[in-house]
Amino acid sequence: MTVVNAPRMHIIETYFECCGFDHTFLQGGTSVYLWNLSRTFADRGHRVSIVTPAHGRLDDLRQRYDVEDLPYEDTYTLPVALDPRIWQGFPAQADLALRTTAHRIRLAGVDLYFLANEYLNRLPDTFYPPYSAKGRDLVFFKPLVFQVDSVRFLRGWFADEKAVVHAHEPYYHYLLPAALREDPTKTVVSNVQSNMPIAKKVYAPEVERLFELLGVDVELPGPDPATDAPPAIVQYQQLTHLHYTYPADHVAIYELTADHADLVDFLSPGQLDFYAGFRDTPFEALFRRLPIADVVRRNAHKMFVGGCAISDQWLAWDPAGVDRAEVLGGLGLDPALPTFFHNARYAVHHKGQIELMRAVDRVLNEGLEANFVIRCISGNGIDDPFFHEVAARHPTRLHFEWERVEEARVFSYAAASDFALFPSKFEMDTFLIAQGEAMAVGAVPIATDQRGMEHFRHADRPETATGFAVNRSFAEDDELLTAALAERIREAAALWSDDPGRYRELSERASAVARTFTWDHCADLHLAAFTDLWEGRPAALSTELALRNGWFDLLPDDSVTASAALAHGDIEAYERRAPLDPDAALTMFRAAWRRADFAVCERVLDRFPDAVPADESARLRERSRVLGDGRLEYRLPHAERVEIVEARRSSARALPDVRTLERRAPGRFTGEAPGAGGRLLLTLSSGRTTWDEVRHD
């Protein structure tokens, strides 16, 4: 899809770090994304501006670029309301006296604008304030200073110029959409770069004060109503990395961005789908009860996929030019063995690296003949001794490193490898460029079946799959993931040795799939959406998105499908198209049983008690029972793990008590029964995680 006859637009990219044009400035992947996308827009003939902080690096920039000091000076006082529960010993409001200047570099057809002042110049090495600064050092508000400065700069420097403002990551621009919504010359596209908790909130008085400064007249949403969700489920969310409970005087940043932006942009179809409903996760049941679910629904028509891509440089290099023997031999490994590669920042929960190292240790201890090249990138080294112990146990089979190295060296590692390991967890990955890079040079992926990674097709059916999948994981120390990884590694090594033809087929397919993710394609997706905005065409709800998420009330009757209604167990939606007869009722019951959606099973039985065979309805009623000795017996054939979660008598942010029932046989679990408020967390063989309860009759 190449966008033809698109009007020449002014596209303004803005983010806290837009330094991908210079590797010495680079901090994170968003910078790389922004620079590649901006250059591609410029190559298509559009005017492109980038607005970002100077981060105290202007003198450094002057040594390598022509830096133009602009006739722009903005002197004002920024009022920051401080939450007294966090900022103890500080006044109720910090008044930051600021003098902001602007500086420009023109490079590759892109205008880069750098804003500088006392706060934006701090932290020149790391850019981002450490979390430890919260409640201790006002540098914590450096990103907030940039938000206000960027709004004032956009209003002042670009004034009445028509432009599409493309702002990245809601946490770094939650003031901007509302601040520009009354400007008829500016449309705002909010880009969700990471799967940050969707209900993440900030102190409401802070937002109110800054909106007053900026002259923004919008009503902030009130506090969330009390939820009827069981305390055990609420407390458990601290362990999922998907949701946290906030005081009543806080406001959700995604609500501020989604409600006031013109479009909401995602990096992949799976990321959008995940963020819309959190299906099959421990958070799903609570999410549906929260006001943020309504925010998603009422803004669903704005959601689109702008995509992401693999770097042009990586795609241009020739993997055939890499000498496998030289690369692997230079690492002390045997080039004649199947080789597995992992490349990610050191983030043990996000990247599944504890389970990865345990799986590697397990298969090597068993005697598997294979190599592993494991990169866990960290500027401060690896603080977990277990990682070093595993590396020391297998010096001729495992190369372990954490240093930042030149991209060409990483390319050589990937090109010399046969498989790529990406067991990411908690659905934190939204595109995962590193997996695409490894696949592009022929490495067959072994990766988590996360929604945000499904575009790489490693979890497809065999005839279209690019590699191997392991189930999603929402547990911090997940033996199921470790065991699944070990099994896939064994399977992959056997395939490489015993069926080289099938291995080559997977390798070629993996490379072909990855190489479709180009910046040209990403630009096409964005320009199609931007053109509609530029020309005043309203966004429309995707019928497919509504059907996938069960938003049947947002659709006309003729758009509702029986298959979607059956999949969601929605009797009312089904009956908008056809009567629910016994055959359809049985289909709905069985689909709900596979999902462990027992409430739907009960509703179907209430309507059609004779449609479900007696043995199946008995399985539903008898799945759990408390024995005479107070122990619980739980039976569900497609459950892989059953945990008991019980709330503690304290705040919603307390950690609950969690214990795992003993798996006595496939689908059969026993252990001490929970109290009346306890809940069962089920992990199914499909990878779905959901909740059940024990009835104390």
| Segment among 320-329, 436-445, 605-614, 647-656 with least mean pLDDT | 647-656
pLDDT of 85 reads 96
Q: Where are the beta strands (DSSP E) in 535-661?
A: 624-626, 631-635, 639-646, 657-660
Assigned architecture for domain 576-692: Sandwich (2.60)
Amino acid 56: pLDDT: 97
User: For 107-140, how does the pLDDT look when each residue is reduced to its tens digit (9 = 90+)?
Assistant: 999 999 999 999 999 999 989 999 999 999 999 9
Whether residue 2 has pLDDT greater than 80? no
Instruction: Dump pLDDT digits (tens) for 379-427.
Output: 789 999 999 999 999 999 999 999 988 899 999 999 999 999 999 999 9
Query: Would you say residue 569 has pLDDT above 90?
Result: yes
Q: 497, 162, 530, 117: which is closest to 339 by C-alpha?
A: 497
Of the candidates 378, 371, 332, the one whose C-alpha atom is nearest the C-alpha of residue 353 is 378
pLDDT (0 to 100) of residue 531:
98
Helix (H) or strand (E) run with residue 685 in it: none
pLDDT tens sequence across 314-328:
999 999 999 999 999
Q: What pLDDT shows up at residue 419?
A: 98
Question: Per the structure block, which two tokens stand in for 253?
Answer: 């940043």
Q: What is the pLDDT of residue 1?
A: 54
CA 470, CA 126: separation in Å to the nearest integer?
35
Domains 10-220 and 312-511 share a fold: yes
**pLDDT, tens digit, for every residue of 483-509?**
999 999 999 999 999 999 999 999 999
Q: What is the mean pLDDT of residues 87-96?
A: 98
DSSP conformation letters of 354-418: HHHHHHHHHHHHTT---EEEEEEE-TT----HHHHHHHHH-TTTEEEE-S---HHHHHHHHHT-S
Q: What is the pLDDT of residue 404?
A: 84
| pLDDT confidence of residue 318 | 96
Confidence (pLDDT) at 24: 79
Per-residue pLDDT, averaged over 635-659, amounts to 92
Predicted local distance difference test score (pLDDT) of residue 287: 97
pLDDT tier for residue 6 given thresholds of 50, 70 and 90: confident
Query: Residue 144: pLDDT above 60?
Result: yes
CATH: 3.40.50.2000, 3.50.50.60, 3.10.580.10, 3.40.50.450. Which one for 312-511?
3.40.50.2000
Quickly name the fold that domain 10-220 has. Rossmann fold (3.40.50)
Instruction: For residue 29, name the pLDDT band (cuts at 50, 70, 90).
Output: confident
Q: Does 596 have pLDDT greater than 70? A: yes
Q: Which residues contact 179 (CB under 8 A, 6 or more apart)?
A: 151, 211, 214, 216
Cβ contact 656:236 at 8 Å: yes
Distances (CA, A) of 320 to 317, 387, 414, 441, 445: 9, 32, 12, 9, 19
CB 452 within 8 A of CB 430: yes
Per-residue CA distances from 612 to 290, 542, 566, 580 (Å): 33, 35, 15, 14
Assess whether pLDDT exceeds 90 at residue 23.
no
For residues 589 and 574, what is the distance between their CA atoms, to the nearest angstrom?
13
Domain ranges of the chain: 10-220, 312-511, 576-692
CA distance 459 to 456: 8
Tell me the per-residue pLDDT of 201-243, one tens digit each, with 9 for 90 and over. 999 999 999 999 999 999 998 888 988 899 999 999 999 999 9
CA–CA gap between residue 188 and residue 649 (Å, rounded):
44
Share of the chain above pLDDT 70, in %: 99
- Separation between Cα atoms, residue 683 and residue 642, nearest integer Å: 6
Q: Could you tell me the pLDDT band of residue 697, with boundaries at 50, 70 and 90?
A: low
Confidence of residue 27 (pLDDT cuts 50, 70, 90): confident
Question: 695 pLDDT exceeds 80?
Answer: no
Mean pLDDT in the chain?
96
User: How many Å apart are CA 227 and CA 517, to the nearest integer?
Assistant: 42
